[in-house]
Amino acid sequence: MMMRALFMALVMAFATPAFADPETAKPDDEKTESKPVPDPVMFESKHSGVFGGQKIAYHVEAGETYIANEEGDPAASLFTISYIRDNAGADRPVTFVFNGGPGSASVWLNLGLLGPKRVEVASDADADDGAAPYRLLDNEQSMLNVTDLVFIDPVGTGYSRVVGDGENADYWNEDGDASSIAEFIRIWITKHKRWNAPKYLAGESFGTTRAAYLANELTTGDVDIALNGIVLISQALDYEGSTSVDDNVYSYITYLPSMAAAAQYHGKAGQGVAQADFLGEARAFARDEYGPALLKGDRLSPDERAHIRDRLAYFTGLDPVYIERSSLRILMPRFQKELLRDRGLALGRLDGRYAGDEADDIAETPEDDAASYFVSSAYSALMNQYLSTDLGVEMDRPYMVSSNEAGSQWDFDDKAEGESWEPHYVNVGRQLTTAMRHNTALKVMVASGYYDLICPFFDAEITFGRYGIPQDRVALTYYQGGHMMYLNDGAMDALVADIRTFYAGNLKDARPD
C-alpha cells in the first residue's frame, strides 16, 4: 500500500515553498518537450484451456490503448491483457482487474488468481522461491468460464506510460488514475460491444482503494457505466485502520486480532483454542476493552493497566515486560520483529505466516518483508517469460512489475478545489457508498486473509459497518492466508469458490455475529 508515499507527500507539501524560485522559473509559454507518440501496438493470440471444469477456447489481446487529454491528443498509453472467450455474445460478463501499490502492475491477480496461468510457489510459506527455473502452471481455477478478464496496468506500471504531452503527475493521483481507467473501460466495452453486458471490477490492496473511487467515477462521471459487482481483495478503503504508526489510536484496535492470528499460527498464543474462538475473543477485547483503555491512556489505574497488559500478552504472545515498556501500544513492525526474536526470525508483513532469517537480530523492526521476497522473483521472471512466449509480446522497454517511482511520487492529496490543506488519511468509503446508492444492483465482495499484517481483517469489518454502505449487498469472507491469500492453495480454492458464488448472485457473508 506504500503508506510511505503518503508520508512523503505530506512532508513535501510542507517543505515546498508556495512561490517559484526566480532562478528556475520558466516562462508561461515555455512547454515541456513532447514525448513521441508511436502507433499503439496490439499482440493477439489464440489459446484454450479447462477452467471451472469447462473446455474454453479464448483469444488474448495484449497491447496498448491510448488515452487522450482534454485537447484530444494521446497523452497516456495503458497496456492491458484481455482474455476473451471465442464467440462471446454481447451479454458475456467482463471483469476489469488491477492490483495496487500504487505502482504495481496487475501481474499478481493475473498469474496468482484469476488468469489462465498460475505461478507455483510454496503454499505453506516455509520456503522462498529461490532462483530460476520456476514453474508456470495451468490455472483450472480461472474464472474464464464465467467472465472475460481484462487486466489493466495503470500509467507507470507494466508497459504503460505517458506519451505526447502527458506527464506522470497527471495520472499519479486519484483523479487522473480514475479518469484514465474509466476512459479505457469505455473504449473497451465500445470496441467489444459489451455496453449491455454485466460488468465487474476486481482489485487488491490499493487496487481496492482504486475500485471504490473508480466505481464512483463510473457512476457519477460524464459517461454512466453501471457495475454489477466489485471484488475487493485485502480492502484498503480507510487508511486510518491500516496504518500502524505512533499516535494513530484506531490502528492499535484494528491490528490486534491480526497479531493474535499470527501469534497462534506460530505457536506463541492461543494454543488449544479453536481459531474462531480465539479470534472472536481478540475482536471483543480490542473493541470493548482495549479501545477504551487506549483512550484513558496514562489515567488507567494500576489494576486496569495490569489487566490490559496481561490480556495483550495472552493474545500476542509477547512478553508482558515488553508490552509494559511499549506503553501497551505495539506497532505492527515491532510485532513482526519481536514475536519470533528468540528464533532469529522476522514475520512477513504481507503475510504473517512467512518468517525471514535476518542478519540483525537486535533491530527494532524487520529490514524487509519476507512475504514479498519469498515470491516476487518467481512472479517477475514468469510474467516476462509468459508475455514473450505464450502471448508473443515484443516491446522496447522493461515490464515494470513494481514501480518505486510511481509509488513514491503518488499524490494522495484528494482535497476538493479551494479547500484548505491539512493532513488526513486516505478514505474512499463514502465514494463506494455513493456508487452503491446510485446503483442499487451493485454488490460487493470483500476478501480478507487472517494473516494479512497490512490490511487487517478487523478493519474490514469496522469499515464496512460504517459510511452508510448498504449491508444487504456486502459479503465479507475470510481465508487462511495473508494479503495475497491465494498463495495458499487451500485458501485459493476457497476464495475462487466464493467468487463464483458471488458472480452467481448469491452473497455469502461470513462476518461473525
pLDDT in tens, 450-486: 999 999 999 999 999 999 999 999 999 999 999 999 9
**pLDDT for res 34:** 73
The answer, yes or no, to whether residue 294 has pLDDT greater than 60, is yes
| Nearest alpha carbon to residue 100 among 475, 477, 428 | 428
The answer, yes or no, to whether residue 335 has pLDDT greater than 70, is yes
| pLDDT mean over 97-110 | 96
99 touches 105 (CB < 8 A): yes
The answer, yes or no, to whether residue 416 has pLDDT greater than 70, is no
49 touches 59 (CB < 8 A): no
pLDDT digits (tens, 9 = 90+) for 151-193: 999 999 999 999 999 999 999 999 999 999 999 999 999 999 9
The answer, yes or no, to whether residue 6 has pLDDT greater than 60, is no
**pLDDT for res 420:** 60
**pLDDT for res 513:** 75
- The alpha carbon dihedral of 479, 480, 486, 490 has a sign of negative
| pLDDT mean over 59-64 | 98
Whole-Å CA distances, 188 to 81, 184, 470: 11, 6, 30
| Nearest alpha carbon to residue 108 among 378, 387, 347 | 378
With b for 16 or more beta-carbon neighbours within 10 A and e for fewer, the 32-61 pattern comes to eeeeeeeeeeebeeebebebeeeebebebb
282 touches 260 (CB < 8 A): yes
| pLDDT mean over 99-104 | 94
- The rounded distance, in Å, linking the Cα atoms of 507 and 474 is 7
How many CB atoms sit inside 10 A of residue 344's CB? 13
C-alpha cell at 426: 486516505
101 touches 407 (CB < 8 A): yes
Average pLDDT, the chain: 91
The answer, yes or no, to whether residue 448 has pLDDT greater than 50, is yes
| pLDDT mean over 479-500 | 97
Which residues have C-beta within 8 Å of that of residue 426, sequence separation ≥ 6? 6, 209, 238, 239, 412, 414
Q: Which domains does the chain have, with CATH numbers?
A: 42-240+376-413+423-504 (3.40.50.1820), 246-368 (no CATH)
| pLDDT mean over 64-82 | 96
The answer, yes or no, to whether residue 19 has pLDDT greater than 60, is no
Whole-Å CA distances, 136 to 111, 121, 298, 455: 8, 10, 55, 28
- The rounded distance, in Å, linking the Cα atoms of 227 and 439 is 8
With b for 16 or more beta-carbon neighbours within 10 A and e for fewer, the 448-485 pattern comes to bbbbbbbbbbbbbbbbbeebebeeebbbbbbbbbbbbb
| pLDDT mean over 482-510 | 95
Q: Write the DSSP string, 70-132.
A: TTSSEEEEEEEEEEEETT--TT--EEEEE--TTTB-THHHIIIIISSEEE---TTS-S---SS
The answer, yes or no, to whether residue 74 has pLDDT greater than 50, is yes
The answer, yes or no, to whether residue 2 has pLDDT greater than 60, is no
Overall pTM > 0.85: yes
C-alpha cell at 195: 455496453
Outline where DSSP puts E strands in 234-309: none
Strand partners, 423: none
- The rounded distance, in Å, linking the Cα atoms of 68 and 77 is 9
The answer, yes or no, to whether residue 415 has pLDDT greater than 70, is no
**pLDDT for res 4:** 38
Q: Which of 4-13, 58-67, 342-351 has the lowest mean pLDDT?
A: 4-13
- The rounded distance, in Å, linking the Cα atoms of 59 and 70 is 33
pLDDT digits (tens, 9 = 90+) for 345-364: 999 999 999 999 999 999 99
- The rounded distance, in Å, linking the Cα atoms of 291 and 18 is 40
